[in-house]
């Protein structure tokens, strides 16, 4: 059986890129053929290791060249390239004799079911259904309105696929009525024998330095907590266009000396194991690989109950704390509770590590193989 994944490129340090790399490596190690078709790779090296047995095709479309254009022109140029994209992709899929083609909702998502290459089509959603709305602040009303239109169009797109896969049970009711719906979480990106010893006076959060991750609120919470714990440090892993504004906010709050901006981190395993608590204050998530990875090394977490993911991953009071969305005072109090009680950190950390095994690659990938075999009989 040959499985083909479609994505813009594999050169970025991103969650989806890491997940696809792990999936295709698993497939070729278990007797399947795998191929990655990109639109914007342009000869750049992969960020994550990919087995040489995985076939590679780049369509040479380079959509990202339009990123600096005004919004209306970017959409226009992207639409103009659509027919070329369809033609090149269909030609490659026919040449490959693909059995299953998986889209992770990139440019091809809207037209992939129209291609007559004989393959079954699967669509994956790696974010919340309402991300097109929630990715903008409430005061940006026009963008949120346009986001609601996108949500409506997404429903119609998802219904056209042989299978539509989302990441969390929490999200499932939002898509009720779709008979092709399946829930398969992302697998853990690494299998670690290391465990956090939870003695370090170090708290961490990881993610893109952008609006979605809501770092400003985390910094406000930290400013409430750190005066009582002056020897503790907050480590923020990630890079992005808003990082300088977050640095400035830390200075204005008077907490710059207790906050370390790590930038892009390639060795996340060490980032987790050298910490004692993981935090998440996002406006929304698709699944939150950060929480799952933190669990895998025995790291307890405090997280907002944002849509979607934290409720699936954390059992409140057992392996971490779930906090009502945007309740800064409760979040700060739960964080204080873990910071002052190392025994509680160990108890929750042990429960977290045990819970994380439901996301092991050898648990998740058989669910995908079952889906593929269900389609290709």
Nearest to 220 by CA among 307, 75, 331: 331
Q: What pLDDT score was predicted for residue 14?
A: 80
CATH superfamily of 2-187+361-375: Glycogen Phosphorylase B; (3.40.50.2000)
For range 106-129, the mean pLDDT = 96
Count CB-CB contacts under 10 A for residue 152. Answer: 11
Do domains 2-187+361-375 and 202-359 share one topology? The answer is yes
Give the model's confidence band at 204: pLDDT under 50 very low, under 70 low, under 90 confident, else very high: very high
Length of the chain counted residue by residue:
377
| pLDDT tens digits for range 6-47 | 999 999 878 899 999 999 999 999 999 999 999 999 999 999
| C-beta separation of 301 from 279 below 8 A | yes
Average pLDDT of the chain to the nearest whole number: 95
For range 182-201, the mean pLDDT = 93
| pLDDT tens digits for range 315-372 | 999 999 999 999 999 999 999 999 999 999 999 999 999 999 999 999 999 999 999 9
| 149 pLDDT higher than 80 | yes
For range 186-203, the mean pLDDT = 92
* Contacts with 143 (C-beta within 8 Å, 6 or more apart), sequence order: 136
| 108 pLDDT higher than 80 | yes
Domain ranges (residues) in the chain? 2-187+361-375, 202-359
Give the model's confidence band at 68: pLDDT under 50 very low, under 70 low, under 90 confident, else very high: confident
For range 303-314, the mean pLDDT = 96
Give the model's confidence band at 176: pLDDT under 50 very low, under 70 low, under 90 confident, else very high: confident
| 245 pLDDT higher than 90 | yes
| C-beta separation of 345 from 198 below 8 A | yes
| C-beta separation of 98 from 33 below 8 A | no
| 113 pLDDT higher than 90 | yes
| 180 pLDDT higher than 90 | yes
HEC per residue, the chain:
CEEEEEECCCCCCCHHHHHHHHHHHHHHHCCCEEEEEECCCCCCCCCCCCCCCCEEEECCCCHHHHCCCCHHHHHHHHHHHHHHHHHHHHHHHHHHCCCEEEECCCHHHHCHHHCCCCCEEEEECCCCCCHHHHCCCCCCHHHHHHHHHHHHHHHHHHCCCCEEEECCCCCHHHHCCCCCEEECCCCCCCCCCCCCCCCCCEEEEECCCCHHHCHHHHHHHHHHHHHHCCCCEEEEEECCCCHHHHHHHHHHCCCHHHEEEEECCCCHHHHHHCCCEEEECCCCCCCCHHHHHHHHCCCCEEEECCCCCHHHHCCECCCEEEECCCCHHHHHHHHHHHHHCHHHHHHHHHHHHHHHHHHCHHHHHHHHHHHHHHHCC
Q: What pLDDT score was predicted for residue 75?
A: 82
Q: What pLDDT score was predicted for residue 67?
A: 83
Q: What pLDDT score was predicted for residue 275?
A: 98
- C-alpha 65: how far from chain center: 24
Residue in the block written with tokens 């259904």 = 129
Q: Domain 202-359 maps to which CATH number in 3.20.20.70, 3.40.50.2000, 3.30.1330.10, 2.60.120.260?
A: 3.40.50.2000
Give the model's confidence band at 209: pLDDT under 50 very low, under 70 low, under 90 confident, else very high: very high
For range 267-280, the mean pLDDT = 96
Give the end-to-end CA distance of the chain in Å, rounded to a whole number: 10
| 191 pLDDT higher than 90 | no
Q: What pLDDT score was predicted for residue 351?
A: 98
């Amino acid at each position: 059986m040959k499985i083909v994944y479609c994505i813009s490129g594999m050169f970025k340090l991103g969650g989806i890129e890491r997940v696809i790399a792990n999936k295709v490596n698993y497939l070729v190690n278990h007797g399947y053929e795998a191929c990655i078709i990109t639109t914007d790779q342009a000869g750049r090296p992969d960020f994550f290791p990919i087995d040489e047995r995985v076939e590679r095709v780049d369509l040479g479309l380079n959509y990202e060249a339009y990123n600096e254009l005004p919004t209306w022109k970017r959409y226009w140029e992207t639409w103009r390239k659509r027919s070329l994209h369809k033609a090149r992709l269909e030609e490659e899929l026919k040449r490959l004799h693909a059995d299953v083609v998986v889209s992770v909702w990139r440019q091809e998502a809207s037209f992939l079911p129209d291609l007559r290459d004989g393959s079954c089509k699967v669509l994956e959603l790696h974010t919340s259904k309402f991300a097109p709305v929630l990715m903008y602040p409430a005061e940006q009303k026009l963008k949120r309105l346009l986001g609601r239109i996108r949500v409506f169009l997404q429903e119609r797109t998802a219904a056209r696929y042989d299978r539509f896969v989302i990441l969390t049970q929490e999200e499932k009711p939002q898509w009720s009525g779709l008979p092709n719906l399946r829930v398969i979480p992302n697998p853990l990106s690494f299998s670690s024998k290391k465990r956090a010893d939870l003695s370090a006076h170090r708290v961490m959060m990881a993610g893109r330095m952008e609006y979605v991750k809501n770092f400003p609120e985390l910094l406000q919470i930290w400013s409430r907590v750190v005066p009582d714990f002056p020897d503790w440090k907050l480590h923020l892993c990630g890079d992005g266009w808003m990082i300088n504004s977050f640095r400035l906010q830390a200075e204005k709050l008077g907490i710059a000396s207790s906050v370390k901006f790590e930038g892009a981190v390639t060795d996340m395993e060490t980032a987790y194991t050298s910490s004692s608590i993981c935090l998440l204050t996002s406006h929304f998530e698709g699944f939150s690989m950060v929480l799952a990875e933190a669990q895998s090394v025995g790291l307890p977490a405090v997280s907002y109950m944002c849509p979607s993911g934290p409720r699936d991953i954390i059992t409140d009071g057992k392996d971490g704390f779930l906090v009502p969305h945007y309740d800064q005072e409760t979040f700060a109090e739960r964080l204080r509770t873990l910071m002052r009680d190392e025994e509680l950190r160990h108890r929750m950390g042990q429960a977290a590590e045990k819970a994380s095994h439901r996301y092991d690659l050898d648990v998740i990938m058989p669910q995908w193989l079952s889906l593929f075999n269900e389609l290709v009989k």
